[in-house]
Amino acid sequence: MDVPFVDLKRQYAPLLPEIKGTMDSIIERCAFINGPEVREFEQKMAKWLGVPWVCGVSNGTHALYLTLKALGIGKGDEVITVANTAFPTSEAINSSGADVVFVDISQDYFSIDPEAVRSAVTARTRAVIPVHLYGIPAEMEAITEIAEKHDLLIVEDVAQAMGARYKGKKVGTIGVAGCFSFFPSKNLGAFGDGGAVASADKELARRVRMLSNHGREEKYTHLLLGTNSRLDTLKAGQLSICLDHLDEWNQERRQAAALYEELLGPFEEIRTPAVPEGCEAVWHLYVIRYEKRDDLAAFLRQKGIRTGLHYPLPLHKQPAYADLGLKEGSLPRAEKACREVLSLPMFPKITPAEIETVAKGIGEFLSHQGKA
């Protein structure tokens, strides 16, 4: 049996008539920019998250960038983030004009090491961006304690974790702002690019909204130098419909992760992902660690099982960051993780039979290894 890495068609098929109906209505009204569906979606998402303000933007990268700009972070400032994340996390920091300070991941989890954050703080540090990578909450209690002590702002990168909970609280509602991505394969995906910023700070939300719309609140008066980063009405209409299904999709992801855990648990060579105590993950990705992951991936591929790498290179080793001069060995945990991680098929409608096929494939590979 072939197992895809992600299957969006399967997920969206039952919703298409409703989504197309909404899109038709928007097209008939030609309400493409700032149509009523945008505000409706923002309000619905705010209620779902339990925050007063949500501002839709054009993608998750801009959610981060506009938040940093709205906080007044820029040239001369430093922002700390983790080396094992998607490139846009740090790219957004650079776009704001601030300097990126990469730190290592923690011993037990894939997310930022709170102790490394503490050691990286300087007089120029303004903010820290924890990333709830793979849908697993970062260690927010320790990060919050350090942030409070050093007067740092916490901007959460929630691109991969919409709906995950840290000790009862939805991630994205703990820091000063939560930055979401609606890239199609994310837990809540748009039919194209999309993103949002959530915050309890009214003025911050107002500034993000202004910056995303050429720095204005009224048509011809530009109060700030912003950009064009609005969420389209067509996507907002679609996202509103899909948001009603997010809890159910996240639950399906949790069931899939539990089955992986059960089936892969007995394989000593494989390290399955850990979740901090008291937290609930939403498994944007299900990522195992294994020393010979390239061989394993090739074996699975040959059997029709697709896997992914998130990520093969820590950001401090990306060519774009060569000028930071961070050599191999400078962030050893992130570097080792990048050599060992393998993302297994994970999406809401994945079947138990597909997960069993993946686990069986892994078992076969390991038994061949035993004989080698």
Under the rule (CB under 6 A), what is the footprint of ligand PLP? 59-61, 85-86, 88-89, 131, 157, 159-160, 181, 183, 193, 195
Query: How far apart are CB 151 and ligand PLP at their closest, in Å?
Result: 25
Strand pairing of 169-170 and 53-57? unpaired
Q: Which two tokens stand for residue 362?
A: 């892994």
CB of 86 to ligand PLP, least distance (A): 4
| Chain position whose Cβ is nearest to ligand PLP | 60
CB of 132 to ligand PLP, least distance (A): 8
Give the residue with the Cβ less far from ligand PLP, 60 or 178: 60
Nearer to ligand PLP, 59 or 357 (CB): 59
HEC string for 259-287? HHHHHHCCCCCCECCCCCCCEECCCCCEE
Length of the chain: 372
CB 134, CB 285: distance < 8 Å: yes
Q: How far is the CB of 302 from ligand PLP (least distance, A)?
A: 28
Residue 370's SS3 state is helix
Write the burial class of residue 135 (CB in 10 Å: 0-12 exposed, 13-18 middle, 19+ buried). Answer: buried
Q: How far, CA to CA in Å, does 210 sit from each of 21, 49, 216, 325?
A: 31, 22, 5, 37
Cβ proximity to ligand PLP, 161 vs 257, nearer residue:
161
Nearer to ligand PLP, 181 or 357 (CB): 181
Smallest gap from residue 145 Cβ to ligand PLP (A) = 23
Smallest distance, ligand PLP to C-beta of residue 335, A: 18
For residues 159 and 171, which CB has a smaller minimum distance to ligand PLP in the complex? 159
Tokens 């991969």 map to which residue? 160
**Residue nearer to ligand PLP on the CB measure, 64 or 344:** 64
